[in-house]
Amino acid sequence: MFPQLVQIAALLLVVNAEWNTKDYMKREHSLIKPYQGAGMSVPFWDFMGSTMVTSNYVRITPDLQSAQGSLWNTVPCNVRNWELQVHLKIHGKGKDLFGDGMAIWYAKDRMVPGPVFGNMDYHHGLAVIIDTYSNHNGPHNHQHPYISAMVNNGTLHYDHDRDGTHTQLAGCEAKMRNVDHDTYIAIRYEQDILSVSTDMENKAAWKECFSVRGIRLPTGYYFGITAATGDLSDIHDVLSVRLYELDDPNNGKDNEDRSQIVPQASYFEPPRDHVDDPKPSSLSGVKMFLLMMVGAIAIIACVVFSIMFYQKHQENTRKRFY
């Protein structure tokens, strides 16, 4: 009797494992060591720009200015509910000035370089952004590095000069740069709830960054990771990517066809007032120099004229007494 119970329990575990979210990793959407397949290719992944694949990490950007790199999954994700866990590392020689940051994407279009941390603007899908440098002129209520999320239907512009604060869903600080331990981020999308968690303190436990309801994402989009540097620089490394399926076959909602819906979010953070950049002077350096020279000559002429007038007045005064 006991062996039969063991067999039944084992069978139930096997059946359960077919949809158990925490155990079922989707290999075609994951990146784990060893990265490389035959030649220089990476199974299920494409890379471009400054990205370099080594035996221990995938370096999206080196510590050089004006670099852009990307790593994109080649297989569209047809799982409605999922959790993406990324093991990453941001580091560099800069102590006070560094940037710009990296982004994790679930997007319709892949391998399209652009101004949003190495990816295109006006994208379709989800972006989880790790911004390491503050470009905003107005006061921030947070420090950088800062993790935020943006859902776009192709009509929204990411305002890089304002750190995307006017289109972000939510965000949190993440002290993850130049630390001596591993850093992880988990993006969970389940039942139209987007949750982002981190493990930045080497505690082997997730800490919630934010959770937002009312997020509708299509199936059939691609996962990707991009990074960029500008006048400042940093190293952006990816060590592993793991995607876990969260779909429950017993839940009828998970069988809904979402391949044709438009990405949308029912909630955004209240927009912050814009602080315009100082308007540049319309005078060039040469014009400013000439203007200052004319002003200096006018002042000297006034002084000379005043001295001559004073001397002439003194002479007339002396003649009056003779």
> 177: closest CA among 127, 138, 232?
232
Binned at pLDDT 50, 70 and 90, residue 13 comes out as: very low
Binned at pLDDT 50, 70 and 90, residue 62 comes out as: very high
**pLDDT tens digits for 234-285?**
999 999 999 999 977 667 666 778 889 999 988 665 544 444 444 444 445 6
Binned at pLDDT 50, 70 and 90, residue 21 comes out as: very low
Residue 48's pLDDT is 94
Question: Which has the higher per-residue pLDDT, 96 or 274?
Answer: 96
3 state SS for 137-194: CCCCCCCCCEEEEEEEECCCCCCHHHCCCCCCCCEEECCCECCCCCEEEEEEEECCEE
Residue 100's pLDDT is 84
| Mean pLDDT, residues 171-200 | 92
Q: Which range (43-52, 59-68, 121-130, 163-172) has the least confidence?
A: 163-172
- Is 125 in contact with 108 (CB distance < 8 Å)? yes
By CB atoms closer than 10 A (0-12, 13-18, 19+), residue 24 is middle
On the question of pLDDT at 184 being above 90, the answer is yes
| Mean pLDDT, residues 162-186 | 86
Mean of pLDDT over the chain? 82
Return the residue matching tokens 């155990």: 23
Amino acid at 24: Y
Residue 219's pLDDT is 96
- Is 78 in contact with 223 (CB distance < 8 Å)? no
> 228: closest CA among 94, 45, 99, 48?
99
Binned at pLDDT 50, 70 and 90, residue 320 comes out as: low
On the question of pLDDT at 134 being above 80, the answer is no
What is the four-CA torsion angle of 55, 57, 63, 69, rounded to 10 degrees? 100
Residue 84's pLDDT is 97
Q: How many CA atoms lie within 13 A of 286 on its CB side?
A: 0
3 state SS for the chain: CHHHHHHHHHHHHHHHHCCCCCCCECHHHCECCCCCCCCCCECCEEEEECCEECCCCEEEECCCCCCEEEEEECCCECCCCEEEEEEEEEECCCCCCCCCEEEEEEECCCCCCCCECCECCCCEEEEEEEECCCCCCCCCCCCCCEEEEEEEECCCCCCHHHCCCCCCCCEEECCCECCCCCEEEEEEEECCEEEEEEECCCCCCCEEEEEEECEECCCCEEEEEEEECCCCCCEEEEEEEEEEECCCCCCHHHHCCCCCCCCEECCCCCCCCCCCCCCCCCCCHHHHHHHHHHHHHHHHHHHHHHHHHHHHHHHHHHHHHC
High-pLDDT (> 90) share of the chain, %: 48
> 117: closest CA among 224, 27, 14, 205?
224
On the question of pLDDT at 8 being above 80, the answer is no
Return the residue matching tokens 């020279």: 293
Residue 166's pLDDT is 79
**pLDDT tens digits for 287-315?**
677 878 888 898 998 888 788 877 777 66
On the question of pLDDT at 121 being above 60, the answer is yes
Binned at pLDDT 50, 70 and 90, residue 164 comes out as: confident
- Is 152 in contact with 123 (CB distance < 8 Å)? yes
Amino acid at 301: A
Report how far residue 318's alpha carbon sits from residue 312's, in angstroms, rounded to the nearest whole number. Answer: 10
- Sign of the CA dihedral 43, 46, 50, 51? negative
